[in-house]
């Protein structure tokens, strides 16, 4: 087999949450450029349509569908709209997440705690379950959960976010263990510090940037596009024997 064909996604249908910008948008473009029909989603229909318009100008197959992943009805609608448009689901990338506060755990309110778990964990659990019948039907489904190195090694001020990402990592392993018999693979990508709006407060911190430059093996912050390679591998036939894996893309963060 031509090795290039291992990464082809022609005819595949992928849902990518939180994909109007940042890591989600980069991964969505990577999947789309390799042949997938991609469903872009974010809270705002306007912003997701702006992203989709650029895809369409480039000749890529895309559906723009707003979805606040923390809302059960909107999750259901996202899946229904995908099936109505493309007829199936092969790939689910659970990327949407929040981290509304930078605070120690003793100062974290119950309200923020519940909100973070609802969006960062429950939404992945429920959306994966909603997609399950369609992934099972295709017998070659791929779930890619975007976790974080914070779920492996916590940083000060990101405690509850770290706990949610640790939960995502374990959920990924459970999905892989229980759903492997249906031909469904589930893997997690754990990015390090990526230059996105989501992490702007961190990469705009000069003291932190100096620390990154001096201590991180890669010596720099990553761009969102640097997450595409792992996602493409895990979504395609190239990763057909990979499931239950936790993949870091962190510039060596876990070595320090």
Q: How confident is the model at residue 202 (pLDDT cuts 50, 70, 90)?
A: confident
Q: What are phi and psi of 158, to 5 degrees?
A: -120, 25
Please classify residue 15 by burial: count the beta carbons closer than 10 Å to its beta carbon, then call 0-12 exposed, 13-18 middle and 19+ buried.
Answer: buried
- At residue 180, the 3 state secondary structure works out as helix
CA torsion, ordered 69, 72, 76, 77, to nearest 10 deg = -70
State mean pLDDT over 192-215: 84
All residues at 6 or more sequence positions from 247 whose CB lies less than 8 Å from its CB, including other chains: 187, 188, 189, 190, 230, 234
Mean pLDDT of the chain: 96
- At residue 41, the 3 state secondary structure works out as coil
**Residue 96 pLDDT greater than 90, yes or no:** yes
CA torsion, ordered 104, 117, 183, 11, to nearest 10 deg = -100
State mean pLDDT over 115-132: 98
Domains and CATH numbers, the chain: 3-196+223-255 (3.40.50.720)
Nearest Cα to 190, choosing from 247, 245, 133?
247
Cα–Cα distance measured from residue 97 to residue 69, given in angstroms and rounded to the nearest whole number:
9
Q: What pLDDT is recorded for position 89? A: 98
Active-site residue, 102 included: no
State mean pLDDT over 11-26: 98
Span of 43-57, 58-72, 185-199 with lowest mean pLDDT? 185-199
Q: What pLDDT is recorded for position 204? A: 81
pTM of the model: 0.97
Token digits for 46?
Answer: 């306007």
Token digits for 139?
Answer: 């017998």
Q: What are phi and psi of 223, to 5 degrees?
A: -95, 150
Q: pLDDT > 90: what percent of the chain? A: 89
Q: What pLDDT is recorded for position 1? A: 66
Compute the Cα dihedral for 233, 61, 23, 129 and give only its sign.
Answer: negative
Q: What pLDDT is recorded for position 203? A: 74
Query: Which position among 102, 113, 161, 247 bears the catalytic label?
Result: 161
């Amino acid at each position: 087999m031509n090795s290039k064909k291992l990464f082809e996604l022609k005819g595949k249908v992928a849902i990518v949450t939180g994909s109007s910008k940042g890591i989600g948008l980069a991964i969505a473009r990577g999947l789309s450029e390799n042949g997938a029909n991609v469903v872009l989603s974010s809270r705002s229909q306007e912003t997701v349509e702006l992203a989709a318009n650029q895809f369409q100008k480039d000749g890529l197959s895309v559906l723009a569908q707003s979805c606040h992943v923390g809302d059960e009805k909107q999750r259901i609608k996202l899946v229904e709209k995908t099936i109505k448009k493309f007829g199936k689901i092969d790939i689910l990338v659970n990327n949407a997440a929040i981290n509304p506060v930078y605070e120690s755990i003793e100062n974290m309110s119950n309200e923020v705690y519940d909100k973070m778990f609802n969006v960062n964990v429950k939404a992945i659990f429920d959306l994966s379950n909603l997609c399950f019948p369609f992934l099972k039907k295709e017998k070659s489904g791929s779930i890619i959960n975007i976790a974080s190195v914070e779920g492996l090694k916590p940083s000060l001020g990101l405690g509850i976010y770290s706990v949610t990402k640790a939960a995502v990592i374990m959920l990924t392993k459970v999905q892989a263990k229980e759903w492997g018999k249906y031909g469904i693979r589930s893997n997690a990508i754990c990015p390090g510090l990526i230059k996105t709006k989501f992490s702007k407060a961190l990469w705009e911190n000069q003291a932190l940037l100096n620390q990154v430059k001096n201590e991180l093996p890669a010596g720099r912050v990553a761009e969102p596009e640097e997450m595409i390679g792992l996602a493409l591998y895990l979504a395609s036939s190239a990763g057909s024997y990979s499931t239950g894996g936790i993949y870091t893309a962190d510039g060596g963060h876990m070595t320090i």
